[in-house]
Chain A
Amino acid sequence: MKFFGGCDVGSTYTKCVILDESGNMVASTTIKSKINPEISANQALVDCVSAVDGINEIADLAYLIGTGYGRNKVPQAEENISEISCHAMGVHVANPSVKAIIDIGGQDVKGIAIDTDGTVKNFAMNDKCAAGTGRFFESMANAFEISLTEFSNLSLTAKNVIPITAQCTVFAESEVITLVGEGKPREEIAAGIQLAVAKRCFVMAKKAGAVDSITLTGGCAKNTGLKKAIEKVLKLKVIDLHDNGFDPQLMGALGAAEYARQKGLNA
C-alpha cells in the first residue's frame, strides 16, 4: 500500500494529512507552528507518519506536497502548491457540493470559488493586514483576557451588537479596551467583533463569486460565533465540514495530500 502526504505550514499552525491509495485519511496532525517553518513541517510530518502502520519515516511517503506560507520549506516534498489551490481541492474532497470557501487563516483571509473538478475558479485575498484574520481574533481575545473558545461562546450570548468601527487590529484593540472601560456589555462587544470580521468575509466571498452557500476553512472555522455572524451578514448558508466528518482546519493539508495522491498514482 502506498501513502501520500500533504503538509500545510501556516503562520500559526502546521497541519499534516496522510491518505492511502483510495483517498482515505489514515492520519492527521496539527501542531503550533514554530518560528522556523522547516522545523514545524518536519515535526508535523514525523508525528503524522508515526501514526500510520506500514511506514516509518517521511521518505516512505510515495509523494509529498507542501502548501501554506512555508510550502517551499517542507522537507523531502516533491513539490509545493499554493494554499488557495489546496483548500479548494481539500473542500472538494470533503464535500463536493460546496462551491465557495472563506478561508480564515492566521495571517490572511481568502475567498475561493471552486470549479466542478476541485480546481480554483476564482479567488480573492486580503491585503497584508491582520484585519479579519486569526491574529485579529487572538488579539481581541487577549484584550478580554479569555481563550478563543470562550470568546466565541461569549459572543453567542449577546442580545445586542455593539459595532466595532476600526478594521485595523491595533486600532480595534484600543477601541475594544475603551468600550470595556466604559462598562459596555462584554458579550455585545464580542458580537461586534464577530460582525466586523463577518463583513470582511462578505467582501472576500462576493469578490470570489459565492452564490448560494459557502464553507469556512482554517482555524477560525471553529469559531461558532463567527459562523453565526457570517450567516447573518452574507445571507448565505454556511456548510459545516464537521458534518461531513472533516476538520475544516485540515483542508489545506487534505488538498495537498489529494494532489499528492493523484500525482503519485499517475507517476
Chain B
Amino acid sequence: MKDLKHMIYFEKLLEDAHNELVVKAQEEGGLAIGYTCFHMPELLLNLDKCFSLRLRAPKTTSLEISTYYMSNYVCEFCRAILERSIEGGYNFLDGIAAVDACAQMNRCVENISIQKLIDKDKFFMSHIDVPYKVDDNGIQHYTNQVRLRVLDEMSKLGVDTSDEAIKKALDIHNEVCAIITEIGDFRKEKEVRVTGHEFHILNLITYTCPKALIVDMLRETLEEIKARTPDDKKWRARVVLVGSEIDDPALTEMIEDTGALIVADRFCFGSFPGRQQMHLVEGEDVLTCICRQYLEQSQCPRYMSEDKIQQRYDMVDGYAKEYNADGIIYEQIKFCDYWGYERAMASHVMQNEFGYQVLSIDRPYISKSSSGQLRTRVQAFIESIEIKKINNSKGAKRNGK
C-alpha cells in the first residue's frame, strides 16, 4: 500500500510527550493539561485555551526510582509515569487532572504531588473520585467532582468553563472522533486499506497532541485512506486486541509483523471506548450530560457488577463479529490489578463459552524489552488460528460444503 503522507511525522510526534505541536500550542498561549485515564473527561480539558494530553512515558529509562517509591508489584505504566515525572519529562505541563479509578495510579499521582515533581508557576494538580455505580447518584457525584476539582481549577487560570465553551470544545472533539471512527470502519472490510498499527498511531496522536493542530492532517489522512488501493498482502489472521494501556506503537507493529491484522482496539489508548462522538441532550445540564456519557461509555474492568462484566464479554464478542476477527488477544501490563482479573476470566470465558481462539499475555510497559518472547507467543497463536482455519476448510470440502 502507498505510505500515508503524515505517518512518519505522526510517529515522530509520539517519541516524546513534549512534542513539537505541544510546544507550538503553548507558545501560542495554550495550557497543557495532562491526564492519565479515560475516566477524566478528555473533552472538558479542551475548553477555551486548554488542551488535553493523555500521559505516556515514551522516553522512560529503567523504573528504578519509581520502584523504590511504589514497589515491584505495582503496574509498570503507573511506575513509568512517575519515573518520567522524576526525570522531568512533564515539567512543561500546566496541570494534571487525575482520577481515583485505580489504587496504583493514585499512588503515582500522590507521589508526583507530594514530591512536588512539577515545579511550574501556577501548575495545578487535582484528583477526582469516580463512582463504581453508574446511576443518577453516581453521575451527580462525578459531575460535582469534575466541576469542583477540575473546572474550578481551570477557571483560576482564567479559562472559560461556561456551557458555551463546552459546546465549542465538543465540536472539535466530535470532528476528531468522526474522522477516527470513519477510518476505523475501514477495518471491517475484507481487503485492508488501513492496518491496525497505522490506526493505532493515528489514534494515539489524537490523545497526545492539541486537537486543533492535528485535525487538518487527520482529515487529509482520511481522504488518502478513502482513495487508497487496498493491500494485497495476505494476512494470516484478523484479531481483536483487548486490554490495558497500549501506548507503544512498537507492540501493534510487532503483532502485525507476525501476520495478524489488528481489526479492533478495545484497550486503554484505543478507540473503543474513547473515540465515540458525544451528544448533548435537550433539557439536560450540559456538564452533567458530558459526564454521564463518559461514565456510561467506560468499559474498564474496575466495574465488577455482573451486568458490567457480561457487558464487556458481549462487547468484545460484538467487535469480533463486526470486524470479522478470527481470534482475540487479551493483554495487560504487568501488575495491573483490574486487567489481571479481567484477562484471566475473560480469556477463559471467550474461549470456552463464546468459542473464540484466545491468546492471553502480560507484558512489560516497554514492550521491546520483551519483544522476542512476545513475538513467539503471538506467532504461535497466529499459526494455530491459521492451521485450524486450513484444516476446517479441508473438512468442509470433504463434507461437500
Contacts and interface: CB of A to CB of B under 8 A. Distances in A.
B376 to A, nearest CB: 5
Given A120-B383, A128-B370, A83 B388 contact: no
A138 to B, nearest CB: 19
A82 B387 contact: no
A193 to B, nearest CB: 24
A12 interface: no
Interface string B369-401: 110110011011001100110010000000000
Given A117-B391, A119-B391, A85 B384 contact: yes
Contact of B383 (A82, A108, A121, A125): A82
A81 interface: yes
Interface in A137-169: none
Interface residues of A, number: 15
A85 B383 contact: yes
Contact of A125 (B364, B373, B387, B391): B373
Interface residues of B, number: 15
A120 B384 contact: yes
Interface centre among B372, B376, B379 (most CB of A within 10 A): B376
* B interface, over-half SS: helix
A136 interface: no
B389 to A, nearest CB: 11
A123 B364 CA distance: 20
Given A108-B373, A125-B373, A119 B388 contact: yes
Contacts of B372: 69
Interface in B222-249: none
A84 interface: yes
A69 B178 CA distance: 42
A120 B369 CA distance: 26
Given A108-B373, A128-B370, A128-B373, A123 B391 contact: no
Contacts of B377: 84, 123, 125
B370 A82 contact: no
B398 to A, nearest CB: 14
Contact of B376 (A69, A117, A127): A69
A82 B257 CA distance: 13
The 3 closest A-B pairs by CB, nearest first: A84-B380, A82-B380, A82-B379
Interface of B: 362, 364, 369-370, 372-373, 376-377, 379-380, 383-384, 387-388, 391
